[in-house]
Amino acid sequence: MNFENSLAFATQLDEQDPLSHFRSQFLFPKHNGKDAIYLCGNSLGLQPKALSQYIAEQLQVWRDYAVEGWFQAEQPWLTYHQQLKAPLARIVGALPQEVTVMNSLTVNLHLLLVSFYQPTAKRYKILMEGGAFPSDQYAVESQVRFHGYAPDDAIIEVHPRPGEATLRTQDITEAISQHANELALVLFSGINYYTGQFFDLETITKAGHQAGAYVGFDLAHAAGNVPLELHKWGADFASWCSYKYMNSGPGGISGVFVNEKHFDNTELKRFAGWWGYHNESRFQMEPGFKPEFGAEGWQVSTSPILLMAAHKASLDIFEQAGSVSALRQKSLKLTAYLAFLIQQINERQGEELFKIITPDDASQRGAQLSVICKRNGKAIFDYLVTKGVIGDWREPDVIRLSPVPLYNSFTDVFEAAKALTEAASNN
């Protein structure tokens, strides 16, 4: 598409957008009495307007039924989590029995690593991307230490080549091949939080399996953002949060994926809890853990109903929007328009003041653009805030801007770029 740098063009794109009406289902923070230009869904998604109603309904069940809410409510709490499985399966490309919701992301990564990081004297190393989100780094460091290994020896990090900001798939697969005899696990992000790079998860999975390792993913920045096919790709496991692109509230409940090929693998260790016990005999309270079939067998603690209600409010909007591919098509156009407008600013400045480090190839990025400010970066970011443009700042010099297809408009993108133009001129 040939883009134009004008409000009229952005407005025209909004008028042609078949998803534009979903914007009205979200609550925007205010700036000077108007909706702020919110481009921070990569960090925290907006609140669905219906969320308060979904939670209020469960509070009423609690009021009216108390403990009997687990059994007597219209949507009994005992099986409430099962309503979320099919929508989630569609978002991450899984079978319904391969997903469930529980805990928070890093807790789930630890629980999954109990099963899928089983080091031996020969195979004990974990390969991951350099510059992964710190929580992943800390989790992996603690896991290898727990098993008696030194992180400097047991963790292999793959970094971009000198002078490059993002990883080449070839370098990832070559690193896997190089360490094939030592690898117990390949653990990658779906999208790198800092650069916004969407990794080739299918190719990484294939390479990891060829090396004889398990392969898992942290999909915090990918779930609800980009098309995923976890079952088709053959990934062993994955986990994600729900508060970014899935708009389910700060610290919202996490989801997990376990490939069905592992359901009957009795050699996989796991940390067990009552909620993962076989459903039909759970209340017999017998000793000896018997896991429920599927990903639910990895559950540990009782379902947090209010968090699940918040999650359901957002998942129902995803269901209304239809396939992830429809959202993806709009996302590609929104992000491309933002990239075009940033390039226009550079041309006006006569220099590359703003360098986009997120890949140019649309297949290698989601809704996020990470932009290096080559001078006065923090002052430019602070100026955007005064104009009601909400992105986020990452030291030392990166602004992340993420137009989300469910609630952002092309006009949002145009106005954000207009503010960025003013910021460049004033700083």
Query: pLDDT, tens digit, for every residue of 15-35?
Result: 999 999 999 999 999 999 999
> Is 399 strand, coil or helix?
strand
C-alpha atoms less than 13 angstroms from C-alpha of 106 in its C-beta half-sphere: 12
How many domains would you assign to the chain? 2
Instruction: Give the residue numbers spanning the domain of 141.
Output: 55-320
CA distance 169 to 166: 10
pLDDT at 370: 98
244: confidence class by pLDDT, cuts 50, 70, 90: very high
pLDDT at 1: 82
Q: Judge whether 91 lies within some domain.
A: yes
Mean pLDDT of 27-51: 97
pLDDT at 99: 98
323: confidence class by pLDDT, cuts 50, 70, 90: confident
Mean pLDDT of 175-202: 98
pLDDT at 2: 93
Q: Judge whether 1 lies within some domain.
A: no
- How many other CB atoms are found less than 10 A from the CB of residue 322? 12
Are residues 148 and 287 located together in one domain of the fold? yes
pLDDT at 316: 98
Mean pLDDT of 405-427: 95
Are residues 372 and 343 located together in one domain of the fold? yes
Q: What is the CATH number of the domain that holds 138?
A: 3.40.640.10
Report cis status (omega within 30 of 0) of the bond before 287.
no
Residue 32's Cβ-count burial label (10 Å; 0-12, 13-18, 19+) is exposed
Q: Judge whether 2 lies within some domain.
A: no
pLDDT at 7 over 90: yes
pLDDT at 368 over 90: yes
CA distance 44 to 58: 23
Mean pLDDT of 28-44: 97
**Structure token digits, residue 362:** 């649309």
426: confidence class by pLDDT, cuts 50, 70, 90: confident
pLDDT at 134: 96
Are residues 115 and 31 located together in one domain of the fold? no
pLDDT at 70 over 90: yes
Are residues 339 and 278 located together in one domain of the fold? no
Residue 76's Cβ-count burial label (10 Å; 0-12, 13-18, 19+) is middle
Tell me the pTM.
0.96
Mean pLDDT of 3-11: 97
Q: Judge whether 273 lies within some domain.
A: yes
Are residues 281 and 334 located together in one domain of the fold? no
Instruction: Kindly state the percentage of the chain with pLDDT values over 70.
Output: 100
Are residues 315 and 344 located together in one domain of the fold? no
Are residues 269 and 333 located together in one domain of the fold? no
Are residues 244 and 332 located together in one domain of the fold? no
Are residues 365 and 392 located together in one domain of the fold? yes
Q: What is the CATH number of the domain that holds 19?
A: 3.90.1150.10
Beta bridge partners of 187: 216
Please write the tens of the pLDDT for every residue from 94-152: 999 999 999 999 999 999 999 999 999 999 999 999 999 999 999 999 999 999 999 99
Q: Judge whether 44 lies within some domain.
A: no
Mean pLDDT of the chain: 97
427: confidence class by pLDDT, cuts 50, 70, 90: confident
More confident residue, 238 or 283: 238
Are residues 292 and 337 located together in one domain of the fold? no
Q: Judge whether 49 lies within some domain.
A: no
CA-nearest of 283, 300, 297, 289 to 71 is: 283
Are residues 210 and 359 located together in one domain of the fold? no
Residues contacting residue 254 through CB under 8 Å, at least 6 positions apart: 101, 102, 103, 104, 105, 107, 108, 239, 240, 241, 242
Domain end marker among 320, 345, 362: 320
Are residues 96 and 228 located together in one domain of the fold? yes
Domain end marker among 287, 302, 320: 320
Q: Judge whether 40 lies within some domain.
A: no
282: confidence class by pLDDT, cuts 50, 70, 90: confident
Q: Judge whether 152 lies within some domain.
A: yes
Domain end marker among 271, 287, 320: 320
